[in-house]
Amino acid sequence: VAARYEDKPAGECLRFGVACGAESVQRLGAGLVDPQKVERLLAQTDVQRIAAPAEVS
């Protein structure tokens, strides 16, 4: 949500959300994140478009 408020493109919003989520689950307590660790995880996060949709059975 924070990235959307900054008018970031959808891919950047997804990267930021993944990095925040990954950092958040590494500690006890809901929603607690270390911004420096989020930035480090953000640098390691890549978003790629998938050409074909996933099959649902």
pLDDT in tens, 4-23: 788 888 889 999 999 999 99
In a domain, 20, yes or no: yes
Residue 56 lies in a domain: no
Boundaries of domain holding 28: 2-43
Q: Total domain count for the chain?
A: 1
User: What would the pLDDT profile of 46-56 be if each residue is shown by its tens digit?
Assistant: 998 888 877 88
In a domain, 21, yes or no: yes
Domain contains 51: no
Contact between 40 and 32 (Cβ < 8 Å): no
Q: To 5 degrees, how large is the angle CA 33–CA 2–CA 48?
A: 90
